[in-house]
Protein backbone atom coordinates (compact mmCIF):
# COMPACT_ATOMS: atom_id res chain seq x y z
CA UNK A 1 0.00 0.00 0.00
CA UNK A 2 1.24 3.48 -0.82
CA UNK A 3 0.91 6.77 1.02
CA UNK A 4 -0.13 9.99 -0.68
CA UNK A 5 2.43 12.80 -0.74
CA UNK A 6 0.69 14.55 2.17
CA UNK A 7 0.46 11.31 4.15
CA UNK A 8 4.14 10.63 3.43
CA UNK A 9 5.10 14.05 4.83
CA UNK A 10 3.12 13.34 7.99
CA UNK A 11 4.60 9.85 8.22
CA UNK A 12 8.11 11.36 8.03
CA UNK A 13 7.29 13.34 11.17
CA UNK A 14 5.96 10.26 12.94
CA UNK A 15 9.05 8.23 11.98
CA UNK A 16 11.27 11.03 13.25
CA UNK A 17 9.46 11.52 16.58
CA UNK A 18 8.54 7.80 17.01
CA UNK A 19 5.60 8.75 19.27
CA UNK A 20 3.60 11.93 18.83
CA UNK A 21 0.39 13.59 19.99
CA UNK A 22 -1.88 15.65 17.72
CA UNK A 23 -0.69 18.89 19.37
CA UNK A 24 2.94 18.00 18.56
CA UNK A 25 2.00 17.29 14.95
CA UNK A 26 0.17 20.60 14.53
CA UNK A 27 3.05 22.49 16.19
CA UNK A 28 5.55 21.22 13.59
CA UNK A 29 3.62 22.69 10.65
CA UNK A 30 4.44 26.24 9.53
CA UNK A 31 1.78 28.94 9.35
CA UNK A 32 -0.89 28.70 8.16
CA UNK A 33 -1.26 25.51 10.19
CA UNK A 34 -3.61 22.83 8.87
CA UNK A 35 -6.90 22.26 10.64
CA UNK A 36 -6.96 19.58 13.31
CA UNK A 37 -9.69 17.82 11.32
CA UNK A 38 -7.39 17.68 8.27
CA UNK A 39 -4.62 16.01 10.27
CA UNK A 40 -7.15 13.70 11.95
CA UNK A 41 -8.43 12.63 8.52
CA UNK A 42 -4.90 11.92 7.30
CA UNK A 43 -4.12 9.91 10.43
CA UNK A 44 -7.34 7.92 10.07
CA UNK A 45 -6.48 7.05 6.45
CA UNK A 46 -2.96 6.09 7.52
CA UNK A 47 -4.41 3.86 10.27
CA UNK A 48 -6.73 2.21 7.76
CA UNK A 49 -3.73 1.53 5.52
CA UNK A 50 -1.83 -0.03 8.44
CA UNK A 51 0.91 2.59 8.74
CA UNK A 52 0.01 4.22 12.07
CA UNK A 53 -1.27 3.00 15.41
CA UNK A 54 -2.14 4.88 18.57
CA UNK A 55 -2.40 4.54 22.32
CA UNK A 56 -5.21 6.32 24.18
CA UNK A 57 -4.32 8.55 27.12
CA UNK A 58 -7.69 9.84 28.32
CA UNK A 59 -9.08 11.73 25.32
CA UNK A 60 -5.68 12.08 23.64
CA UNK A 61 -4.08 9.71 21.19
CA UNK A 62 -0.36 9.13 20.99
CA UNK A 63 0.45 8.03 17.43
CA UNK A 64 3.33 5.74 16.48
CA UNK A 65 4.52 4.07 13.27
CA UNK A 66 3.54 0.49 12.49
CA UNK A 67 5.84 0.35 9.45
CA UNK A 68 9.57 1.07 9.53
CA UNK A 69 10.78 3.85 7.26
CA UNK A 70 13.44 1.60 5.69
CA UNK A 71 10.85 -1.09 4.92
CA UNK A 72 8.49 1.42 3.30
CA UNK A 73 11.11 2.98 1.05
CA UNK A 74 12.77 -0.34 0.25
CA UNK A 75 9.45 -1.65 -1.07
CA UNK A 76 8.99 1.42 -3.26
CA UNK A 77 12.53 1.36 -4.61
CA UNK A 78 12.05 -2.32 -5.49
CA UNK A 79 8.79 -1.43 -7.24
CA UNK A 80 10.49 1.35 -9.18
CA UNK A 81 13.29 -0.99 -10.23
CA UNK A 82 10.73 -3.55 -11.37
CA UNK A 83 8.51 -1.06 -13.20
CA UNK A 84 11.09 1.25 -14.77
CA UNK A 85 14.28 -0.79 -15.06
CA UNK A 86 13.06 -4.21 -16.14
CA UNK A 87 13.59 -5.61 -12.63
CA UNK A 88 17.33 -4.98 -13.03
CA UNK A 89 19.09 -3.41 -10.05
CA UNK A 90 22.17 -3.08 -12.27
CA UNK A 91 20.28 -0.90 -14.77
CA UNK A 92 18.92 1.18 -11.90
CA UNK A 93 22.39 1.63 -10.35
CA UNK A 94 23.84 2.55 -13.73
CA UNK A 95 21.10 5.10 -14.37
CA UNK A 96 21.40 6.52 -10.85
CA UNK A 97 25.19 6.95 -10.94
CA UNK A 98 25.27 8.50 -14.41
CA UNK A 99 22.34 10.91 -14.07
CA UNK A 100 22.41 12.13 -10.47
CA UNK A 101 25.55 14.33 -10.64
CA UNK A 102 27.23 12.59 -7.72
CA UNK A 103 30.46 14.15 -6.50
CA UNK A 104 33.71 12.22 -6.51
CA UNK A 105 33.44 11.85 -2.73
CA UNK A 106 29.90 10.47 -3.03
CA UNK A 107 30.98 8.02 -5.75
CA UNK A 108 33.90 6.88 -3.58
CA UNK A 109 31.51 6.35 -0.65
CA UNK A 110 29.18 4.38 -2.91
CA UNK A 111 32.12 2.29 -4.11
CA UNK A 112 33.03 1.47 -0.49
CA UNK A 113 29.47 0.32 0.18
CA UNK A 114 29.55 -1.88 -2.92
CA UNK A 115 32.96 -3.31 -1.98
CA UNK A 116 31.66 -4.14 1.52
CA UNK A 117 28.61 -5.89 0.06
CA UNK A 118 30.84 -7.89 -2.31
CA UNK A 119 32.92 -9.07 0.69
CA UNK A 120 29.75 -10.11 2.54
CA UNK A 121 28.45 -12.07 -0.45
CA UNK A 122 31.75 -13.93 -0.90
CA UNK A 123 31.68 -15.25 2.67
Using pLDDT thresholds of 50, 70 and 90, give the confidence band for residue 77. Answer: confident
Tell me the whole-structure pTM to 2 decimals. Answer: 0.74
Whether the pLDDT of residue 1 is over 90: the answer is no
Which of 15-24, 75-84, 96-105 is predicted most confidently?
15-24
**Number of other residues whose CB lies within 10 A of the CB of residue 28:** 12
Q: What is the pLDDT of residue 51?
A: 96
Whether the pLDDT of residue 6 is over 80: the answer is yes
User: 60 by DSSP, 3-state: which?
Assistant: strand
Q: What is the pLDDT of residue 49?
A: 95
Cα separation, 52 vs 45, in Å, equals 9
Whether the pLDDT of residue 80 is over 90: the answer is no
Cα separation, 14 vs 65, in Å, equals 6
Strand 20-21 and strand 52-57: the pairing is unpaired
Q: What is the pLDDT of residue 40?
A: 94
Amino acid sequence: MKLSKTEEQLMELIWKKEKVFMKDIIDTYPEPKPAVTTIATLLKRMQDKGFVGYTLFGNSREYYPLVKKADYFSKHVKGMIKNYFGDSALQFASFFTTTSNLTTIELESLKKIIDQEIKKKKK
